[in-house]
């Protein structure tokens, strides 16, 4: 589908510059969730139909990140999917993480008996050495929109034998991402993938699958949905890390993910980054090359609120984010409010 046709699928009120907090669903997503809720209300929906959405969403996510569906696990949140990875490292192992990392990819390491060191994002690759057991980082930083130097980080990690764990929540959906470069890559779907909260994916490379204990396993992690009784019979694929899906979140994830694939991520990136660049230029700032930008504007909160612009403001810094339903008019309204 052409992007110019797709934009009619949203009914956003003008001024939503906050996809980095949550993405807005296109109409087919809202319709699919509404239908499922009504089926649920009437007791008319076989749960297997809702459940089938999980498989379709897994497949669509895999396509989006260049992975095999068998290498993708499902769950509800990034931290939940990363917890077994962190728990599988030996006590005292060295882990490096950017100091501004969103805590869903920091606390899972900190709660374990690990030696976690945080460094500024631009120093991450240099901080990896032969004693590093794992490096964990976001492909796009949540606070700043900074795109990680993935080549440098992966090269340093491979040279030292460190596990590479990426959080692609702020990247997949607008930035082309190849999950297979990482050992593990988690992604929450409620932002750039425009799904309801409660759907999250985790690529687990076949090379490291057996090194991670699926400590959250339940019936859904079993081969052929293992309902009752022993023995332990885990799926051989990454499904062994599955956590029973929040059905309606996955019902909603399918149309959103399929629409993204249909439009094409490169086109979405070009659209989003052009809007972000327009915003930066309007403020007299250099282009950042990201769909998320962060600028120092101590008075932004009141100015934007009075103009009906919704963006994130924290500690005097404004974080604005631009997705395929954002328009030039949204950007210009924000610039009018700020300048």
Ligand X SMILES: Cc1ncc(COP(=O)(O)O)c(C=O)c1O
- Residues in the site for ligand X, rule: CB under 6 A? 77-79, 102, 104, 138, 142, 167, 169-170, 188, 200
Give min distance, CB of 80 to ligand X, in A.
7
Give min distance, CB of 249 to ligand X, in A.
11
Q: Is the Cβ of residue 104 or residue 256 nearer to ligand X in the bound state?
A: 104
Helices (H), 106-246: 107-110, 150-160, 206-209
Q: Is the Cβ of residue 181 or residue 319 nearer to ligand X in the bound state?
A: 319
Q: Which two structure tokens, joined as six digits, stand for 285?
A: 């700032």
Give Cα separations from 30 to 49, 225, 327 (angstroms).
17, 29, 21
Q: Is the Cβ of residue 7 or residue 119 nearer to ligand X in the bound state?
A: 119
Q: Which two structure tokens, joined as six digits, stand for 312?
A: 């994130």
Give min distance, CB of 332 to ligand X, in A.
27
User: Which three-class secondary structure state does DSSP give residue 114?
Assistant: coil
Q: Is the Cβ of residue 53 or residue 138 nearer to ligand X in the bound state?
A: 138
| Residues forming beta bridges with residue 73, ordered by sequence position | 202
Give min distance, CB of 75 to ligand X, in A.
9
CA distance 83 to 109: 8
Contacts of the segment 51-54: beta carbons below 8 A, 24+ positions apart: 51/245, 51/247, 51/250, 53/247, 53/250, 53/251, 53/253, 53/254, 54/245, 54/247, 54/250
Give min distance, CB of 273 to ligand X, in A.
18
Q: Is the Cβ of residue 73 or residue 333 nearer to ligand X in the bound state?
A: 73
């Amino acid at each position: 589908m052409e992007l110019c046709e797709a934009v009619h699928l949203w009914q956003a009120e003008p001024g939503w510059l906050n996809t980095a907090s949550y993405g807005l669903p296109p109409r087919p997503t809202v319709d699919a969730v509404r239908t499922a809720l009504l089926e649920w209300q009437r007791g008319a929906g076989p749960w297997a139909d809702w459940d089938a959405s999980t498989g379709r969403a897994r497949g669509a996510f895999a396509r989006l990140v260049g992975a095999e569906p068998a290498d993708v696990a499902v769950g509800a949140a990034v931290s939940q999917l990363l917890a077994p990875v962190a728990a599988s490292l030996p006590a005292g192992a060295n882990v490096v993480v950017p100091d501004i990392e969103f805590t869903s990819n920091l606390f899972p390491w900190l709660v374990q008996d690990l030696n976690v060191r945080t460094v500024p994002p631009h120093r991450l690759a240099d901080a990896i050495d032969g004693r590093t057991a794992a490096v964990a980082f976001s492909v796009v930083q949540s606070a700043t929109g900074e795109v990680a130097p993935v080549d440098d980080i992966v090269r340093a990690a491979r040279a030292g034998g460190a596990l590479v764990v990426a959080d692609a929540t702020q990247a997949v959906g607008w930035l082309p991402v190849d999950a297979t470069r990482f050992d593990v890559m988690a992604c929450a779907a409620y932002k750039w993938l425009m799904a309801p909260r409660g759907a999250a994916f985790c690529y687990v490379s076949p090379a490291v699958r057996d090194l991670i204990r699926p400590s959250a396993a339940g019936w859904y992690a079993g081969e052929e949905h293992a309902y009752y009784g022993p023995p332990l019979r885990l799926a051989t694929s990454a499904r062994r890390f599955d956590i029973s899906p929040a059905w309606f979140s996955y019902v909603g994830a399918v149309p959103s993910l399929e629409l993204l694939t249909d439009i094409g991520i490169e086109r979405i990136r070009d659209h989003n980054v052009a809007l972000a660049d327009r915003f930066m230029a309007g403020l007299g700032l250099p282009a950042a090359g990201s769909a998320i930008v962060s600028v120092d504007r101590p008075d932004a909160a009141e100015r934007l609120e009075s103009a009906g612009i919704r963006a994130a403001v924290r500690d005097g810094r404004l974080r604005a984010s631009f997705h395929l339903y954002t328009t030039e008019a949204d950007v210009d309204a924000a610039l009018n409010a700020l300048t």
